[in-house]
Structure 1
Amino acid sequence: MWLGVPVIPTPDDEVVLPGGNVGGAVRVGDTVRRPTGPWTPAVHELLGFLTDAGLRCVPRVHGIDERGREVLEYLPGEVVPVGVVALTDGQLASAARWLREYHEVVADFPRGPRRWRFADRALQAGEIVCHHDFAMYNLTFDGDELVGVFDWDVAGPGVPLDDLAMFAWASPLLFPDDDAARMAHGLQVLADAYGTDPERLLRHVERRLTDSCDRIEAGQRAGDEGMLRLGERGEPASTRERLARLVVRTDEIAAALTHA
């Protein structure tokens, strides 16, 4: 037993899943197997809490296999490929509505200290447990409807707008060389569906992505294998460069919001 959940025997029929820049994952039947870390007990506690609360789109925890990997429910649906197909307005809105629902549910999660991937502390005033990588590559859809949210490894303390800002950044909606009106439209769709001010969301992106870059670098210095793999892909340097080019256009995009 580990964390009060059963040890699941390791089968032979494993299918490597695409993505997995941080941890890697394989599918075995109706389950997904992924590496664990010191943060896994907190993540499993979180997922169990969300499941018990009846929140949809969250994978159930089934235990740990004989190789020490977590065993999670496989979530059906389609992952929209980044840079190949854009999310529809319906998909953006569905994801933003779910995110608001998640934030309302997780507000009741016990606030005591836990070892998260990037933090080892209790929640502070105004904080919740954020997903912290709520991006199109970690979501599955059935048409326009969100049906799955996975890869919770970097969950931890944050403010609600952190998740929405990450989604705006990694949908992807915000590219420095893109048309300001198109970016403003996407921000408006997200803000309307979530229930927040689009300019406030836009101006939070710099803080959220700067924090993300700082966490990745701290993980690399600490020898976190997942963060080191991101380093092999040029992170966080590429994100810092893209962010710097976006920030200088913030006022232009904000002005376009009045016409979104």
Structure 2
Amino acid sequence: MERSGASGEETEVVLPGGNVGGAVRVGATVRRPTGPWTPAVHELLTFLTDAGLRCVPRVHGFDERGREVLDFLPGDVVPVGVTELSDAQLASAARWLRDFHTVVAGFPRGSRRWRFTERALGPGEIVCHHDSAMYNLAFDGDELVGVFDWDVAGPGVPLDDLAMLAWASPLLVPDGDSARMAHGLRVLADAYGDVDPVALLLHVEQRMTASCDRIAAGQRAGDEGMRRLGERGEPAATRARLARLVARTDELTDALARA
């Protein structure tokens, strides 16, 4: 969908998705609403791009309507629930997460206002993307070329991001084939390195429970993005899906042992 920009000189193209934010493309940039967390996110993105981390949008300030201006990252987004990520795409995303976590470990650890919290990093924590799901990833064939929607970034542990990727791809259908899900978990763990796929599976429950709690807290606090998720049935839908997955933990653990 296209619409004229505020100046009448630029065409805005509404980007698909946007359950939380509502992003539009203007030329080679993306414009997105901001919030109290935006300064911390911009500091993070600038740190990452200055460090040479690929797949990250560079910050270009704000437009005349107060929206943030970021690089548009070209590539194909694999549609959730329509097409599965290939093994090669899963591995590429997991390798990028490892690179990201290595670089972001050097980010200053002081207190900042993130979307869901205001505090410094604790022991063992880094700043995580926190929504590294397939709907926020762009690919060129099998290779990851873009990671966007950084507005929920904040303190976490590295396994949080890998668990989110697992949740939104090999574990997307919790009633699916256990061998197929186990295979996807192993692809992610092997590509990231030094991760036990069983530990990854078990961390998904912790990570997605925390996500549901944050969404609910944001809705109570009046966060518009979280309210839009509520219109889509969240976090109740995720809690129900997670319960179905957790009920199969032993079965999936056995499948991983056989994989």
Contact 1:10 1:66 in 2 (8 A): no
Contact 1:82 1:172 in 2 (8 A): no
Residue 89 (structure 1) aligns with:
87
Q: For 1:25-104, what aligned pairs fall within 5 Å after superposition?
A: 25-104=23-102
> Partners of 1:115 and 1:208 in 2: how far apart?
21
> Partners of 1:171 and 1:132 in 2: how far apart?
15
Deviates more, 1:187-196 or 1:167-176: 167-176
Residue 113 (structure 1) aligns with:
111
Deviation at 1:176, TM superposition (A): 2.1
CA 1:106–1:83: 2 relative to 1, 3 Å: same
* Segments of 4+ moved more than 6 angstroms: none
CA 1:17–1:58: 2 relative to 1, 3 Å: same
> Partners of 1:168 and 1:17 in 2: how far apart?
24
Q: C-alpha deviations, 1:196-242, integer Å up to 9, x for none?
A: 11000000000000000000000000000000000000000000000
> Partners of 2:226 and 2:105 in 1: how far apart?
28
Identify the match of residue 126 of structure 2 among 105, 115, 128.
Answer: 128
Residue 228 (structure 2) aligns with:
229
Contact 2:182 2:255 in 1 (8 A): yes
Deviates more, 1:10-19 or 1:25-34: 10-19
Contact 1:106 1:128 in 2 (8 A): yes
TM-score between the two structures when normalised by the length of structure 1: 0.95
> Partners of 2:172 and 2:258 in 1: how far apart?
17
Deviation at 1:173, TM superposition (A): 2.7
- Alignment of 1:256 with 2:255, yes or no, is yes
Deviation at 1:10, TM superposition (A): 8.4
Q: CA RMSD in A?
A: 1.0
Letter in 2 for 1:202: L
> Partners of 2:83 and 2:180 in 1: how far apart?
15
Residue 11 (structure 2) aligns with:
13
For the residue of structure 2 that corresponds to 1:14, the secondary structure is strand
- Alignment of 1:178 with 2:176, yes or no, is yes
Contact 2:170 2:180 in 1 (8 A): no
Residue 189 (structure 1) aligns with:
187
> Partners of 2:258 and 2:90 in 1: how far apart?
19
Q: C-alpha deviations, 1:58-96, integer Å up to 9, x for none?
A: 000011000000000000110001111110000000000
For the residue of structure 2 that corresponds to 1:111, the secondary structure is coil
> Partners of 1:25 and 1:202 in 2: how far apart?
32
Residue 5 (structure 1) aligns with:
none
TM-score between the two structures when normalised by the length of structure 2: 0.96
For the residue of structure 1 that corresponds to 2:11, the secondary structure is coil
Percent identity of paired positions between Structure 1 and Structure 2: 81
For the residue of structure 2 that corresponds to 1:148, the secondary structure is strand
Deviation at 1:251, TM superposition (A): 1.0
Deviation at 1:258, TM superposition (A): 1.8
How many equivalent pairs are there? 252
Contact 2:197 2:256 in 1 (8 A): yes
Stretches of structure 1 lacking an aligned partner (at least 5 in a row): 1-8
